[in-house]
């Protein structure tokens, strides 16, 4: 029986409009041919039934012939159901059975474990698996949605979309007037403006001039050095969206700023939590193919996931850089253990097979992966998906919002963190505390606000990099440093890596945190870290 069969059975049934009892899923999974059994169950279930019960499965098994006559072909409906059970689309969202209450979930899970075949329990690593309780959804996946051609109009569209989305978050705090309208106002009047940061420069007296641009034009705003808000200027990045309030100068040529606002996460934000005791492991930057890939640490991690201690972990999220890649940095070929990119992904897939097959796995690409470098990055192409087919891992774009048990996890590989750390003061963002740089992105409600720097941005009709919805967990990687903390009740986690220090990293003074696995309790959003190096 394939290790992933229970989860695939649940997805197939949901796709055909059915919920299922846990025991029913266990019985189908434990049959000699789960795909054919599922087909018979669906075919025999009454049309008005919305829930597959254990009795439905037993009746189908009891009426099944011992073997199909040689040369007999399946009926159309049977073949379709079998196909659903063995080839479920990766974008399918698994909905929990609404008839199952949180109060009974633990007792039922124990019953399932007792009823499950010994092989299924062994393959699941000892955890009491109940796939029908799981809920996993993916939003903001732009794979296959790219429309940008690099023309000027594409850049105009993406920045207009950015402005519209972020300005909506600020309009409740200021009475915005367009830049063109403000330029026609009289001197001395109060004015409020929302715009993208076009330029920041200092005056001879040490004050700051910020040029803000909206869809009508650009207007200069002056922040006096002795104002309390002067410290915010150090946090500004080009092209982020802010709001200001102040008074026009006597000639109405500049706005003296009294207050400044960011889109930000509301302080009143209350995160979603799971209604049962379930965990997710957050990792990134595996870098298979590198001579410094820590296979021993990975194997210890995979072995631990099979233990009773890890039985509550049902989700594994990997935030990019599955492999080391080829030609990513100068002389990289001298540090490769596997020099062919496709062989690197084949090796990664073999390592992925070592984790329990009943985990739901979600992966996004990173800058070392074989996708375009410009963000947003679409998910892997079909050829690479076929290679990385172990355990039916879900593959989505970078970034993407992944919902686990109602908890919204924003997965972003994190290339823009380099730019944030380089541009902002050390107390605001540093490699030693990468979560603080993540706080800045949450404050700006955009994962890569600055255009034209080191972070490559692709022009699309929509800005997929805006955080339209506040995440409950913000998960990144890329910088190979471990750090976590909470910002306005959002858990920010940078998950380290699985690659020891390379010669290139030594040359740029990067000392990685390797072989760590952050584990999040989805019902409390508390986090622990396991070390395997």
- Domains of the chain in sequence order: 6-59 (no CATH), 172-261 (2.40.50.140), 279-531 (3.60.21.50)
- Per-position pLDDT tens, the chain of length 533: 343 456 677 767 765 667 777 778 888 888 878 888 888 888 888 766 767 888 888 888 887 765 443 333 333 333 334 344 433 333 333 333 333 233 333 333 333 333 333 333 344 444 655 666 678 889 889 999 888 888 888 889 999 999 999 999 999 899 999 999 999 999 999 999 999 999 999 999 999 999 999 999 999 999 999 999 999 999 999 999 999 999 999 999 999 999 999 999 999 999 999 999 999 999 999 999 999 999 999 999 999 999 999 999 999 999 999 999 998 888 888 889 999 999 999 999 999 999 999 999 999 999 999 999 999 999 999 999 999 999 999 999 999 999 999 999 999 999 999 999 999 999 999 999 999 999 999 999 999 999 878 888 998 889 999 999 999 999 999 999 999 999 999 999 999 999 999 888 888 788 999 999 999 999 999 999 999 99
Q: Rounded to whole angstroms, what are the CA distances from 121 to 96, 113, 116? A: 21, 7, 7
Under a CB-based contact definition with an 8 Å cutoff, are residues 93 and 15 in contact?
Answer: no
DSSP-derived letter for residue 492 is: E
Q: Rounded to whole angstroms, what are the CA distances from 180 to 153, 215, 288? A: 22, 9, 54
In DSSP terms, 401 is beta-bridged to: 139, 410
DSSP labels, 313-379:
EEEEEEES--B--SSSSTTGGGGBS--SHHHHHHHHHHHHTTS-TTSEEEEE--TTSSS-SSBSBPP
Tokens found for residue 212? 């803000």
pLDDT at 26: 81
pLDDT at 43: 80
CA distance 435 to 420: 11
Residue 12: partners with Cβ closer than 8 Å, 6 or more residues away: 38, 81, 84, 85, 88
Collapsing DSSP states into helix, strand and coil, what is residue 484? strand
pLDDT at 33: 80
DSSP labels, 261-284:
E-----TT------SS--EEEEE-
pLDDT at 130: 62
Peptide bond into 376 cis (omega under 30): yes
Under a CB-based contact definition with an 8 Å cutoff, are residues 402 and 137 in contact?
Answer: yes
Q: Rounded to whole angstroms, what are the CA distances from 497 to 3, 362, 368? A: 27, 17, 13
CB atoms within 10 A of CB 186: 9
């Amino acid at each position: 029986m394939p290790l992933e069969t229970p989860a695939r059975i649940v997805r197939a049934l949901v796709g055909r409009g059915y919920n299922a009892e846990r025991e029913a899923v266990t019985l189908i999974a434990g049959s000699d041919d789960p795909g054919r059994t599922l087909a018979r169950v669906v075919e025999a279930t009454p049309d008005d039934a919305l829930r597959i019960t254990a009795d439905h499965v037993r009746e189908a098994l009891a009426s099944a012939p011992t073997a199909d006559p040689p040369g007999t072909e399946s009926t159309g409906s049977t073949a379709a159901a079998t196909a659903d059970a063995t080839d479920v689309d990766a974008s399918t969202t698994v909905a929990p059975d609404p008839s199952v209450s949180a109060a009974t979930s633990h007792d039922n899970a124990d019953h399932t474990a007792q009823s499950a075949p010994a092989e299924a329990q062994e393959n699941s690593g000892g955890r009491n698996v109940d796939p029908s309780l799981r809920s996993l959804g993916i939003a903001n996946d732009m794979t296959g949605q790219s429309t940008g051609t690099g023309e000027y109009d594409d850049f105009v569209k993406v920045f207009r979309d950015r402005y519209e989305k972020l300005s909506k978050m600020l309009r409740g705090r200021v009475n915005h007037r367009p830049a063109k309208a403000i330029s026609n106002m009289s001197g001395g009047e109060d004015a409020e403006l929302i715009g993208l940061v076009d330029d920041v420069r200092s005056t001879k007296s040490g004050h700051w001039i910020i040029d803000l641009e909206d869809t009508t034009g650009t207007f200069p705003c002056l922040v006096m050095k002795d104002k309390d808000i002067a410290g915010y200027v150090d946090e500004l990045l080009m092209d982020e969206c802010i709001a200001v309030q102040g008074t026009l100068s006597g000639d109405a040529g500049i706005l003296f700023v009294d207050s400044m606002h960011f889109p930000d996460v509301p302080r009143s934000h209350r995160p979603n939590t799971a209604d049962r005791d379930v965990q997710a492991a957050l990792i990134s930057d595996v870098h298979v193919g590198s001579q410094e890939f820590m296979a021993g640490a990975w194997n210890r991690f995979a072995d631990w996931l099979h233990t009773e201690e890890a039985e509550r972990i049902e989700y594994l999220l990997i935030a990019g850089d599955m492999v080391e890649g080829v030609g990513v940095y100068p002389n990289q070929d001298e540090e490769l253990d596997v020099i062919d990119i496709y062989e690197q992904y084949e090796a990664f897939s073999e390592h992925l097979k070592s984790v329990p097959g009943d985990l739901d796995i979600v992966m996004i690409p990173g800058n070392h992966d074989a996708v375009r470098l410009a963000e947003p990055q679409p998910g892997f192409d079909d050829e690479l998906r076929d290679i990385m087919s172990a355990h039916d891992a879900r593959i989505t774009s970078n970034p993407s919002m992944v919902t686990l048990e109602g908890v919204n996890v924003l997965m972003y590989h994190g290339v823009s963190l380099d730019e944030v750390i380089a541009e902002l003061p050390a107390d605001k963002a540093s490699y030693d505390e990468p979560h603080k740089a993540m706080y800045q992105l949450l404050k700006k409600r955009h994962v890569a606000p600055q255009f034209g720097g080191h972070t490559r941005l692709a022009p699309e009709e929509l800005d997929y990099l805006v955080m339209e919805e506040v995440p409950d967990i913000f998960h990144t990687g890329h910088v190979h440093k471990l750090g976590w903390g909470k910002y306005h009740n959002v858990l920010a986690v940078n998950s380290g890596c699985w690659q020891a220090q390379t010669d290139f990293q030594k040359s740029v003074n990067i000392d990685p945190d390797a072989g760590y696995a952050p584990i999040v309790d989805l019902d409390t959003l508390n986090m622990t870290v396991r070390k395997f190096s």
